Amino acid sequence: HVQLVESGGGSVQAGGSLRLSCAVSVSSANDYCLGWFRQASGKEREWVGSLDSDGRINYAHSVKGRFVISKDNRKNILYLQMNSLTPEDTAMYFCAAGLVPSAACTNGGWTNRDGRWGQGTQVTVS
């Protein structure tokens, strides 16, 4: 059983920063592909980035250089540090987990094979 709980969302001015957290409750969390996704109002869900079971991280072009994914392995918390935020980053942010090979963890398609989701946390940039 996988439980994912996001937190840290809120409102921020353009150019500001925000850090999201995702508490991952599952045995052998390090075996999972973990990722961040977002969905703006009226738009499809968009992949933000993923951390594979080998520790490699991949990012979407839209956030590369601004967002940083990290994980506290002791606490099993996945983080998304968001810098230089713009109004286009406004969305509901979700974390996801899946037991997929590292090679499949390089984009967001892996959730179609095995995706478990948190409830999301809202980020608003004005």
pLDDT at 86: 98
Residue with structure tokens 């090979």? 101
Burial group, residue 55, by CB count within 10 angstroms (0-12, 13-18, 19+): exposed
Copy the structure tokens of residue 111. 């959730």
Burial group, residue 10, by CB count within 10 angstroms (0-12, 13-18, 19+): exposed
Contact present, 2 and 75 (Cβ < 8 Å): no
Copy the structure tokens of residue 53. 């079971």
pLDDT at 56: 96
pLDDT at 1: 84
Segment 103-112 shows an average pLDDT of: 91
pLDDT, mean over the chain: 95
Condensed to tens digits (0 to 9), the pLDDT of residues 27-59 reads 888 889 999 999 999 999 999 999 999 999 999
Tell whether the model's pLDDT for residue 116 goes beyond 90: yes
Alpha-carbon dihedral 93, 95, 101, 102, rounded to 10 degrees: 70
Condensed to tens digits (0 to 9), the pLDDT of residues 72-98 reads 999 999 999 999 999 999 999 999 999
What separation, in Å, do the N-terminal and C-terminal C-alpha atoms of the chain show? 37
Tell whether the model's pLDDT for residue 113 goes beyond 90: no
